[in-house]
Structure 1
């Protein structure tokens, strides 16, 4: 059974950290999902490029529900997601890694739940700690072993995209306590919690956000920074996989919907 999944964000499309790679497809109520599966450190791992293998899916059209449903159906219990982000915090500079621990949701047109009434009913999931503390600690420990500098806390502001933000928006987000801005972590983190899967995000700062950066923002700049740090993020993911304990965790993620009878496929 596959218990670990990597969701690769912008610039993280290569599943070749795995051995015996195969491509699979799973049907879900929200559409089919293609992903790669293989083995690393003796553990079965699924690799899912969030934007498609050629970055062909914009952030507002990603089928987040299908992706998380498919991983749950596979038996995945731990998800490490990577995201490329702009920084609102001067201390979080391009090239830095950040283990985000909170988010602000400024998306507009995305369905962020598996429970829209009807047969599935309605749930109100607790997001006091939106990212699994145990999995975050595992990634932090991996960074320490590799001597990679990583910020232990950060507030991720999720916008709708695909456009970049205006300087006025960035100024507002910073005043609200945001550290980073990206376009994909919501509803992904929310759906993972509803599906009772441990989920952690490793954000890579690719640039300073609009109004902070001295130049116009480009997608090419994002890709260049990701490429320059590709080896570091690959090693961080690999070491994290090695350290993940597959025995039941005491983080509470697997019981997030206990009062509703648990998550059901």
Structure 2
């Protein structure tokens, strides 16, 4: 019997997500409801040589729903790139809402800034050109910041995810949510190491270790949603 062909895989998508299925999800449910500023920013990001690291619009749609369900007003974002998820957050919190956005690369953020300004939400954003850990530590020195954030989104260096988690779990309020992107790492977390391209192996190890660590963390409720490249959604309990 002739073997069935393997499904086509697109970069940074879970191994079971065929290109056709991803296309269907995007075209049937995501793109019809994507706002014009987000669509314009996504198209502009396509010209960036690292466009594949941008937040996926289907994961963004889920985040938008979470923000609305939380009635989120104060958020924090670790890793900004061109700002798709940042703009999405700004569009889904109140006009007097606040986002602290952390990234050491301002050049990529500048690509998205015209679209943020056009959408009229720049006033909600405090962009800090800095590695995240020093800023998070500084925030924690002020007790007024403990439990003061409604939502956090992390899409940054995977080797520091647990370091970010230990800080954000204190900054986000009980009942608030921390979402971590790329926790399936292109589906490689479910593959034998020798099957994974060498360039992906190091951060695959970090993704596996982080997934286990948050699964064992009694301070939170957890779901790992297979949207985009894997979105781990953590609700703080303690």
- What is the TM-score when the length of structure 2 is the normalising length? 0.31
Identify the structure with the greater helix proportion.
2
Where relative contact order (Cα < 8 A, 6+ residues apart) is larger, the structure is 1
- What is the TM-score when the length of structure 1 is the normalising length? 0.29
